[in-house]
Amino acid sequence: MSPAEPVAVVPSDAALIAAWQGGDEQAAAELVRRHARALARFLAAGGAVESDVDDLVQETFIRAFRAVGKFRGQCRFRTWLLTIGGNVLKDSHRRARRTRVVPLGDDLRTTDGDPHERAVAGEAEARLLQHLPELPRMQREVFLLRAQQGLDYEEIAAALGTTPGAARVHYHHAVKRLKEHLQ
């Protein structure tokens, strides 16, 4: 019998942050690898122009790494990163003075069901994305953090500087408004 292979320990985000602060560039690269895709989806759904998403992701990581000393671990690193990404997106919108929503990527769409079900789902998604920018900013951000990123209300509250109860209310109102447009 051969000795058991050691199981590779996956470092936590906190461990990677500490390693990066200690000069380990690979730790920063691992943080980017772990979180860039979710950040890009969040920015795209938040109205980033498709051709700007990569730049906005890069800008978000630059700001996050410059301010990593301020990260206290009161929320998950991804939540903190999405908060910074939201601010980068707001700054981008201010500069561009226009808002567009890009379609969700093919990797987020379901391929199950018959062609009719897929067509109906595609139409519903298009209507949802059409009306998402019409929501007030807080409702839109809470909706995206909850529905797209799967964050719980406590994490959303920490990310947006509000209370979990207020986050629930914003989500409820966002869902109600979007449902009205889908009927």
Q: 94 and 18 in one domain?
A: yes
Closest among 133, 139, 130 to 170, alpha carbons compared:
139
Is pLDDT of 38 > 90? yes
Q: What SS3 state is found at 81?
A: helix
Q: Out of 75, 102, 129, pick the residue that ends a domain.
A: 102
Q: Which domain holds residue 149?
A: 105-183
Q: Which residue has the higher pLDDT, 123 or 16?
A: 16
pLDDT of residue 105: 54
Burial of 176 (0-12, 13-18, 19+ CB in 10 A): exposed
30 or 134: which leads in pLDDT: 30
Do 82 and 20 sit in the same domain of this protein?
yes
Cα–Cα distance, 24 to 20 (Å, whole number): 5
pLDDT band for position 33 (cuts 50, 70, 90): very high
Residue 170 has pLDDT above 60, yes or no: yes
CATH number of the structural domain spanning residue 113: 1.10.10.10
Q: Which two tokens stand for residue 144?
A: 């995206």
**Tokens standing for 79?**
């939540």
Angstrom distance (rounded) from CA 66 to CA 18 = 14
Is residue 41 within 8 Å of 105, Cβ to Cβ? yes
- DSSP percent split of the chain into helix, strand, coil, nearest 5: 70, 0, 30
At 113 the pLDDT is 62
CATH label of the domain that carries residue 52: 1.10.1740.10
Tokens representing 129 are 């994305």
Q: Please state, rounded to an integer, the average pLDDT across all residues of the chain.
A: 82
Confidence at residue 35, expressed as pLDDT on a 0 to 100 scale: 95
Domain boundary among 102, 126, 157: 102
pLDDT tens digits, residue range 65-115? 998 888 887 889 999 999 999 999 988 877 766 444 445 555 555 556 667
